[in-house]
Structure 1
Amino acid sequence: MSQTSTQDATAEPPTQSASTRPTKAKKNRLSGGFFRFVITRFLLIIPTVFILVTVVFFVMRATGDPITAAQGGRLSPEELQRRIHEAGYDRPLIVQYVDYLGDLLHGDLGTTVTDNQPVISILTRYGAATFELAILALIVAMVVGIAFGRIAAHHRDRLADAGIRTFAILCYATPVFFLGLMLKLIFAVWLGWLPSSGRADLSSMAQFDRLVQPTGFYIIDALQLGDMTVLADVLRHAVLPALALGLLTAGVFIRLVRTNVISTYNSGYVEAARSRGVSEKRLLSKHAWRPALIPIITVMGMQIAVMLAGAVLTETTFEWKGLGFMLSNYLKARDFVAVQGIVILIAIIVSVANFIVDVISALIDPRVRY
C-alpha cells in the first residue's frame, strides 16, 4: 500500500503543472502580442514623420527658395543672390534635401529668414502656449461632449435629445474663428465679463519675469508664484479661447457618445442585466457607458489633429501668442523656413498622440492588438 501511495504522490505534481501550463502560455501570448503591437505602432511613427517632412520640404520649395519668397522685393538683385548663395539655396534641390535631413537628425531646424532666429527657439518659446490651449480645449470638449452625449442617449428621441443634437451640429459646423468672434462680442464687448485677447494682463506678465525657471505654461507658472490673483487672471484670459476651440471638438464627441451609448444600451448583455432587475440608471452608468468609451478614445487621437489645426485660427482671433499665432504671421511674411519647422513639430505631436491613443485602446480592448 505504501508503494501505491508513493506512486500516486509522484504522479500528482506533473498533472498539476501540466494543468497550469496553458494558462501561463496564454498570458505570455497576450503580453507578447501587446508588446509587439506597441513596438509596431511606435516604429510606424518614423516613416509617417519622414513622409510628412519630405512633403513639407518639397511643397515649401515649389515656389522657389525661402529667401526670394520672403525678401525678394526688399533686396537688390546682387544682395539677394549673395544671400541665396550664402544660405546654400542655389545648390541642387536633392542636395538641399539631404542636408536638411542631416540637420534634422542633429536637432537643427534652420534659421528664420525674416527675424534671423533659430526655429527651435521659436518652437520652445511659443509651443507651451499652444499646448496649454489644446489641453484646456480638450477638457472643455470632454466635459461638454461626454455630459451632453450621455444626457441625449438617456433621453433618446425626446425634446432634450433633439436640442442636444442640434447644439452638436452647430458646434462642429460653425467655423472656429466665427465662434471666437461671437464669444468675444458677447462676453468681452457686450457683457464685459472676460478679456478679449492675450494670455494675461501686463501686471501678471511682469510677475512671471520674477521666476527663475518659467515653464511657459502660464497656469503652472502662476501656481509657482503662489499668487491666486495672477492665476485667476490667467484663467479668465483662457476661458474664451478654450471654449471656441473646445466646442469645435465637443460637437463630435456629443454625437459619438450618444450613438455608442445607445448601441451598447440595447445590446444583449445589457438586456440580460435589465431582466435581472438592474435599475436603468445603473445600466447606463455601469453596463452601457464603459464599452462605449473605446471608440471615443480612438476618435480622440484624430480630433487632436483637428484641434491643432483649429488652434491657428483660434490663436489669431484671440491674439493668443502660440505656435498657431506665429505660424499665421510667418505665412504672411512667406518665411517658409519657420513655417516648415512649425508644421513638422505639429506633425510629430499628432503622430505621437495617435500612438498613445492606440496603446490606450489596446489596453482597454485586446481585439485592437490583432
Structure 2
Amino acid sequence: MADPLMVMAEDSVVKRAPRGGGGGTLGRYLVIRALLIIPTVFILVTTVFVLMRTTGDPITAALGGRLTPDQLAQRIHEAGYDRPLVAQYLDYIRGVLTGDFGTTISDNRPVIDVLKTYGLATLELVCYGLVVAFIVGIPLGMVAAYFRDKVPDAFLRVFAILCYATPVFFAGLLLKLVFSVWLGWFPVAGRASTGIELQIQLLPDKSGIYLIDAYRTGTPGAVLDVLKHAVLPAITLGLATAGIFLRLVRTNVIGTLGTDYVDAARSRGVSESRLVRKHAYRPALIPIITVIGLQIALLLSGAVLTETTFEWKGLGFQLVQYIKARDYVAVQGIVTLIAVIVAVTNFLVDILAALIDPRVRY
C-alpha cells in the first residue's frame, strides 16, 4: 500500500507551470503563497479559540473546586470571561495581532514570556532532530536505491517503516533504557548537567540555545555536556522523519536512474555508484525540500512527547504541564504559536522549492 505522504510529495514535484501568458511566474507564485498564510493562520487561531472554549471559561476549568463560588465569579468577571463570546474573541484576535496572548492562570505569567523562554529550547531540539533526519535518511536512501530489490534494500525499507511507525514516546523510553540505564553512555534527562545548567542561567544575556550558551560560559567540556544530553532526544525525534526521507530519496533516486541522461552516462561507462552520487543525488533532494514543511509540523508534535520523555524543558514540556493544570490560556497561546510557525515554515519551504525546481510553481 502506498504511503500517502510519499504520494503527496511525488505529486507535488511533478506539477508543471501552466502554459499561457503571465502564468507560472515566480513573483505571482510567491504572492499567492504569501496571501494564503493570512486565512490559514486566521482559521487556525479561530479553531484554537473555539476548542478552548468548549470546556467553558478558562478560570473555571483551572480553578473550579478550589475557590468559593463568589471568588470564582469575581475572578471570571475580572478576566472578562463573563462577556459575550464574540467580544472575547475580538479581544483575543486584537491581542494576537499585537503579540499579547494573555496571562497564564496557574503561575500568573504573560504567555508571551513563556513562549520566549521555552520556544528556543524547542527550536534547538527540532534543529537537532532535522540534523539526525538528514544524516540518517538521505545516505541510507541512496544506499537502498543502489541495492534496489536486494537484501540491503529490503532491510532499509523495513527500517524506514519502523522509524516512522514507532511511537515517539516508546522510542524515547527504549533509547533511555538501553543507552542511559543499561550502558550509561548518555544522561537520562535534562538539557545539561546541574553545574553547567547553573552557569548558563547565571549568564547576563542568555540566548536560550544551550549549545551557544555553553560555549559562552568558557567552561571546558560544557559544549560536550550539552551535546551528550541532546543525543538521545535528537535521535528519538529525528528517526521518524529520517524514515520518511529514506523512502523519498530511494524512490526518487530509482526514478532518476531510469532517465535518458543517466542511460547516456551509463553507456559511456560511468559506474553505477558514481551515477547515484553525481547524477541522481540532487534531483532526489527536491521532494525532501517539498515535504520539509510537513515534517516541521511532525517534529513539533513529536517534540511534545520527546520533551516530556527526556524532561527537555521546551514548549512541549510546558504544554503538558499547563494541560495538567488546566491552564487553557497558556495552552491556547502555545498551540497558536505552533500553528503560526507551521504556516510560516511551509511558506518558506515553498519559496525554496520554487527557486530550486520551477516545476512546483503554479
- TM-score, scaled relative to structure 1: 0.90
Determine the structure 2 residue equivalent to 1:284.
276
- Distance (Å, rounded) in 1 between the aligned partners of 2:150 and 2:138: 18
Give the deviation of 1:300 after TM superposition: 1.2
- Distance (Å, rounded) in 2 between the aligned partners of 1:316 and 1:134: 14
Residue by residue over 1:152-195, the C-alpha shift from the partner in whole angstroms, topping out at 9 and shown as x without a partner, is: 10011111111111111111111000000000000110001110
Q: Does 1:74 align with 2:41?
A: no
Determine the structure 2 residue equivalent to 1:138.
130
2:354 to 335, 353, 362: 362
SS, match of residue 135 in structure 1: helix
Task: Give 1:13-28 correspondences, 5 Å limit.
Answer: none
Uncovered stretches (5+) of structure 1, i.e. residues with no partner: 1-28
- Distance (Å, rounded) in 2 between the aligned partners of 1:309 and 1:105: 24
SS, match of residue 133 in structure 1: helix
- Report the more deviating stretch, 155-164 or 33-42: 33-42
- Aligned residue pairs: how many? 342
- Distance (Å, rounded) in 2 between the aligned partners of 1:161 and 1:105: 50
Give the deviation of 1:209 after TM superposition: 3.1
Q: Which has the higher contact order (CA 8 A, sep 6+)?
A: 2
Shift of the 228–47 alpha-carbon distance from structure 1 to 2, 3 Å rule, reads farther
Determine the structure 2 residue equivalent to 1:55.
47
Residue by residue over 1:208-267, the C-alpha shift from the partner in whole angstroms, topping out at 9 and shown as x without a partner, is: 134221101000111222334111110010000001000111111111111111111112
* Paired letter, 1:163: F
Q: Does 1:202 align with 2:194?
A: yes
Q: Does 1:323 align with 2:315?
A: yes
Uncovered stretches (5+) of structure 2, i.e. residues with no partner: 1-21
- Report the more deviating stretch, 268-277 or 148-157: 268-277
Task: Give 1:345-356 correspondences, 5 Å limit.
Answer: 345-356=337-348
- Distance (Å, rounded) in 1 between the aligned partners of 2:166 and 2:28: 42
Task: Give 1:1-370 correspondences, 5 Å limit.
Answer: 33-370=25-362
* Paired letter, 1:252: I
Give the deviation of 1:352 after TM superposition: 1.2
Is this contact kept in 2: 1:48–1:351, CA < 8 A? Answer: yes
Greater helix proportion: 1
Taking only aligned residues, the RMSD between alpha carbons, in angstroms, comes to 1.4
Give the deviation of 1:206 after TM superposition: 1.6
- Report the more deviating stretch, 96-105 or 63-72: 96-105
Percent sequence identity over matched residues? Answer: 64
Q: Which runs of 4+ in 1 moved over 6 A?
A: none
SS, match of residue 25 in structure 2: helix
* Paired letter, 1:357: V
- TM-score, scaled relative to structure 2: 0.92
- Report the more deviating stretch, 266-275 or 297-306: 266-275
Over alpha carbons, which structure has the higher Rg?
A: 1
Give the deviation of 1:338 after TM superposition: 0.3
